[in-house]
């Protein structure tokens, strides 16, 4: 495979992961304004449209959640510590150094 073709494929994959998907379908959600304000120490998470529900585990004093099927330690700075109004655990991924990483992680819970 040529170098240019590999570069184009990499750019397409990176763009798909990094692009926000808020296409307006959640505009009427009562939690939209809450999601739009969520942030971790890594920055704003974006919205419910950008996050996905996830399974997770706790061990070694940290949260672990899957990235592409591999359980990965969630960095402390990605963990959202405010109450989870949605209830289910969610993760927001982005590209960091060319690899998928946690931008935000919201543990399951409720108010």
Spatial separation of the C-alpha atoms in residues 14 and 11, rounded to whole Å: 5
In a domain, residue 102? The reply is yes
Q: What is the number of domains present in the chain? A: 1
pLDDT at 3: 52
Q: How far apart are CA 109 and CA 79, in angstroms?
A: 13
Our measurement of the distance from residue 6's CA atom to the centroid of its chain's CA atoms, rounded to an integer in Å, reads 26
Query: Do 45 and 80 form a contact (C-beta atoms < 8 A)?
Result: yes
Give the domain range for residue 35: 3-106
Give pLDDT tens digits for 59-107: 999 999 999 999 999 999 999 999 999 899 999 999 999 999 999 999 9
Q: Residue 25 CB: number of other CB atoms within 10 A?
A: 10
Predicted confidence (pLDDT) per residue in 24-39, tens digit: 555 667 888 888 899 9
Is residue 59 assigned to a domain?
Answer: yes
In a domain, 15, yes or no: yes
Q: Please report whether residue 111 resides in a domain.
A: no
23 inside domain: yes
């Amino acid at each position: 495979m040529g170098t240019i073709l590999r570069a184009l494929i990499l750019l397409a994959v990176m763009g798909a992961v990094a692009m926000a998907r808020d296409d307006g379908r959640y505009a009427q959600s009562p939690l939209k304004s809450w999601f739009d304000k969520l942030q971790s120490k890594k920055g704003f998470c974006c919205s419910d449209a950008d996050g996905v529900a996830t399974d997770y585990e706790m061990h070694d004093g940290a949260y672990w959640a899957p990235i592409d099927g591999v359980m990965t330690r969630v960095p402390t700075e990605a963990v959202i510590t405010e109450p989870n109004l949605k209830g289910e655990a969610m993760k927001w991924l982005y590209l960091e150094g060319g690899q998928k990483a946690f931008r935000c992680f919201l543990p399951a819970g409720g108010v």
